[in-house]
Amino acid sequence: MAEHAPGAPTAPGAPGTARATGVGGLAAFRIIAAMWIRSTMTYRFSFAMTLLANFVVTFFDFVVILLMFTHVEGLGGFGFAEVAFLYGTTSTAFGLADLALGQVSRIGRRVRDGTLDTLLVRPAPVLAQVAADRFALRRLGRVSQGLFVLVWSLVLLDLDWTVLKVCLVPLMVLSGAGIFGSVMVAGAAFQFWARDAAEVVNSFTYGGNTLLQYPPTIFARELVRGVTFVLPLAFVNWLPALYVLGRPYPVDLPESTAFLPPLVTAVCALAAGACWRAGLRSYRSTGS
């Protein structure tokens, strides 16, 4: 009989971390995503048409964005380049989260029909497997749109750049992706109990993304407070972005809060991880 290397004892890791004997979360994601890409390519005509359609849709999205920004003089006291900056940062952050974790919102279906079982017996973190489930390349489109607007706004912005501000831009985009991703994972975990909750979660993620594309000054103060303190979406871009733009935040907060996003992300990720594990524990499968 084959001797199996006894795995070094590890604490039950956070989702996505490698276990001693298992393949790591990232590796699992890569392997499974590659399988899905190949899977879709087996239907060549369909694949070609989807590719073409996505290209056209993405292209028109760019056109719409261009049209929107060429007609907007300013919004809530924010100039054109500033609005573009807000749009670009949140869209890129959301796009990255969507690329990596967007598919977890489909877990409800696997919970309903019990096919999650087959993922649970593989030696890889389930979260990574679910995230790579039915992976499609078109998700790159959303990120590229966001990046396009972000780079464009950076070219147009007339700011006194400091080292801190320069560092804050990539930091806020990555932290923002982390916050969006955490909301997605927590929402997916919720589907272990409420199996049709996907739309509720989408209203937070997609809705949050849309909200953050605009300056906070155009929204009611209560709403701004809500996304600052309750659902910490404001940390995705409003707080750090307003620091970069040198503008005051509508809710009175010290300037240093602009640098909180990585911390907020860490807290969100931990909370989402806990939700996810609790969800998995309560998974009931289906009668076979």
CB nearer to other proteins: give 137 or 156: 137
CB of 244 to other proteins, least distance (A): 41
Single residue of 125, 141, 232, 279 touching other proteins by CB under 8 A: 125
Contact stretch for other proteins (CB under 8 A) within 13-21, 160-168, 177-185, 206-214: 13-21
Contact stretch for other proteins (CB under 8 A) within 74-82, 165-173, 216-224, 280-288: 280-288
Give dist(CA 57, CA 34) in Å, integer.
24
Site string for other proteins, 214-253 (x = CB under 8 A): ----------------------------------------
Kindly report the three-state secondary structure assignment for every residue of the chain.
Answer: CCCCCCCCCCCCCCCCCCCCCCCCHHHHHHHHHHHHHHHHHCCHHHHHHHHHHHHHHHHHHHHHHHHHHHHCCEECCEEHHHHHHHHHHHHHHHHHHHHHHHHHHHHHHHHHHCCHHHHHCCCCCHHHHHHCCCCCCCHHHHHHHHHHHHHHHHHHCCCCCCHHHHHHHHHHHHHHHHHHHHHHHHHHHHCCCCCCCHHHHHHHHHHHHHHHCCCHHHCCHHHHHHHHHHCHHHHCCHHHHHHHHCCCCCCCCCHHHHHCHHHHHHHHHHHHHHHHHHHHHCCCCCCC
Contact stretch for other proteins (CB under 8 A) within 101-109, 114-122, 198-206, 246-254: 114-122
Give dist(CA 215, CA 85) in Å, integer.
10
Single residue of 117, 196, 199, 255 touching other proteins by CB under 8 A: 117
Question: With binding defined as CB under 8 A, does residue 255 bind other proteins?
Answer: no
CB of 20 to other proteins, least distance (A): 7
Question: With binding defined as CB under 8 A, does residue 43 bind other proteins?
Answer: yes
Question: With binding defined as CB under 8 A, does residue 281 bind other proteins?
Answer: yes
CB nearer to other proteins: give 118 or 210: 118
Question: With binding defined as CB under 8 A, does residue 46 bind other proteins?
Answer: no
Single residue of 93, 97, 101, 124 touching other proteins by CB under 8 A: 124
Q: Give the binding site for other proteins (CB under 8 A).
A: 1-2, 4, 7, 12, 19-23, 27-28, 31-32, 35, 38-40, 42-43, 114-115, 117-118, 120-125, 281-285, 287-288
